[in-house]
Amino acid sequence: MPHAVSLLRAARLARSAKPFLARGGFKRERCAGCRLLPSHCMCALRPVVPTRAGVCLLMADIEPLKPTNTGWLVADVVADTFAFGWARTETDPALLALLDDPQWQPYVVFPGQYAQPERVVLTVASADTASTAARKRPLFILFDATWGEARKMFRRSPYLDRFPVLSLQPEQITQYKLRNSGREDHFCTSEVAAMCMDLAGEHLAERTLEAYLAVFTHHYLRAKNQQPIVWDGEEHRRLREVSAPQPA
């Protein structure tokens, strides 16, 4: 069954006047389920992890079309992933309805120096506490875009101003190899989602996202360089380990 990013991609393609050609990518046939060459397909490896937390992706216009987009990986793994195209002049009513859904406590994930200090939080309300926010499920709002686009989206989305801004404090550098922003402190969407899941106590989802990104990167680069998949390599071993049935 197509997930939210897949459906958004299909809708965006339907509006395109000409085919989308990814810069620097391979121009051959791609699998509709994972966007890789059929010979390097990883659909059979897709791990779905039930979580209390959810993810809401606000995606820049052509982001769903990019084969290197990792919001797709988040939607593969986290069952409650929602995806919406972002536009300055209009807002999807379904997005506004999601933000008003009483089961969710939205958190806008963005560096704290860009927000008013009173909005910034460093942690997620724990379900063990008695606060109203803790009784709700955390919904992490991620801007799936380039850094320049994300800053614009953050500034020009007034409907998000009522929500706390979750400022992540990563201790690692990015491991993302498919695009280069030139900075080690710029993380891809899948890495940001993994950090959010860690804060929410969703450690299986965190580890799965990390392992799944490594496998996707391996498949993508091997396809791009016309090399076979190394099925017994470190990337696949890690994914098999985190995907194994957990003891009761």
Give the tens place of pLDDT for each residue, 59-100: 999 999 999 999 999 999 999 999 999 999 999 999 999 999
Instruction: For the chain, state the CA radius of gyration.
Output: 18
Beta bridge partners of 140: 55, 107
pLDDT value of position 244? 82
Distances (CA, A) of 159 to 97, 155, 156, 211: 11, 11, 9, 34
- pLDDT band for 216, please (50, 70, 90 cuts): very high
Q: Is the model's pLDDT at 140 over the cut of 90?
A: yes
HEC profile of the chain:
CCCHHHHHHHHHHHCCCCCCCCCCCCCCCCCCCCCCCHHHCCHHHCCCECCCCEEEEEECCCHHHCCCCCHHHHHHHECCEEEEECCCCCCCHHHHHHHHCCCEEEEEECCHHHCCHHHEECCCCCCCCCCHHHHCEEEEEEEECCHHHHHHHHHCCHHHCCCCEECCCCCCCCCCCCCCCCCCCCCCHHHHHHHHHHHCCCHHHHHHHHHHHHHHHHHHHHHHCCCCCCCCCHHHHHHHHHHCCCCC
Q: Is the model's pLDDT at 173 over the cut of 80?
A: no
For residue 139, report the phi and psi dihedrals to the nearest 5 degrees. Answer: -120, 110
- pLDDT band for 139, please (50, 70, 90 cuts): very high
Beta bridge partners of 78: 49
Give the tens place of pLDDT for each residue, 29-48: 889 999 999 999 999 999 99
Q: What is the mean pLDDT of residues 205-219?
A: 97
217 or 173, greater pLDDT: 217
- pLDDT band for 107, please (50, 70, 90 cuts): very high
Nearest to 190 by CA among 157, 154, 214, 166: 214
